Amino acid sequence: MIWQSKLLNKFNEISHGFVSHPYSFPFYFSFKHIPSYLRFFSLVKIFPNRWVIAEQIHGDNIYVSKIENLSFFPKIANKSDIILTQERKHPLIMFFADCIPIFVYIPKIRLIGLAHSGWRGTIKKLPKKLISELKNRYNVSSEDIFIGVGPSIHSCCFEVKEDFISQLPKEYKKFLIYEKDSVKYDLIALLLQQLGEEKIPNENVDISNICTYCSNAYYSYRRNKTNDRNIAYIFLK
């Protein structure tokens, strides 16, 4: 299944998506995933030596990628959870299994971005940092930035325990949802608050209503502890 943001689809100069089997593969190379590599190549139609793949660590490091010193293999964005580029035909690739994929496009300067925002990153304000860095580094306004948020675990299924609750800043505890036998958390609401704090217009944000835990079309670590991953990608044509 391929998810795409209806908002970002309005920009013909970019291509993006959030995919699972049979297109997806893990970060580490494996011969058994060669069929998936080939299917993904048939989807993006760009040779792997122009891909950049993130080595995600649930941090907030920003990697700005350029096409240089091409080899046979994809480029690795070491220890990075945000990738940016203004290069054409240079797909940004990240891996997900419940965390929030954030797709970014700034038409004014032809810049694309992809971010991996898990619960750790989100409560540490990764989305807010991303927008702030874009505005400061590239001298753009909030109105210039368009955001697509792909499938991720939603509040219906994101059950949390005391180890999570204890790490929440006081101002973020309002997104806790207390039910009869469990406590859940609304990460999407927290994400939207951070985008609002950075003055991103509502009409510049598109949120997928697909929960990866609920949907069997996507891998979910919380649902079945899988090592398989969904893939988010974006590139300038």
Q: How many domains does the chain have?
A: 1
Q: List the domain range (segments joined by +) for residue 42.
A: 2-153+187-236
Specify whether the CB–CB gap between 193 and 173 falls below 8 A: no
Count Cα neighbours of 109 within 13 Å in the Cβ-side half-sphere: 19
Average pLDDT of the residues of the chain: 95
Q: Look at residue 40 and tell me if it is in a domain.
A: yes
CATH code (residue 133): 3.60.140.10
Residue 143 identity (one-letter amino acid): E
Q: Look at residue 169 and tell me if it is in a domain.
A: no
Q: Look at residue 175 and tell me if it is in a domain.
A: no
Specify whether the CB–CB gap between 72 and 49 falls below 8 A: yes
pLDDT 10s digits, 203-217: 999 999 999 999 999
Can you tell me the distance from the alpha carbon of 56 to that of 102, in angstroms, rounded to the nearest whole number?
14
Q: Look at residue 23 and tell me if it is in a domain.
A: yes
Average pLDDT in the 190-196 region?
Answer: 98
Q: How far is CA 80 from the centre of its chain?
A: 12
Average pLDDT in the 166-174 region?
Answer: 94
The answer, yes or no, to whether the previous bond of 22 is cis (omega within 30 of 0) is yes
Q: Look at residue 181 and tell me if it is in a domain.
A: no
pTM comes to: 0.96
pLDDT 10s digits, 128-155: 999 999 999 999 999 999 999 999 999 9
What pLDDT, on the 0 to 100 scale, is given for residue 209? 97
pLDDT 10s digits, 10-65: 999 999 999 999 999 888 878 888 899 999 999 999 999 999 999 999 999 999 99
Q: Look at residue 172 and tell me if it is in a domain.
A: no
Q: Quick check: 92 pLDDT over 80?
A: yes
Q: Quick check: 69 pLDDT over 80?
A: no
230-236 and 14-19 strand pairing: antiparallel
Among 59-63, 69-73, 109-113, name the most confident range: 109-113
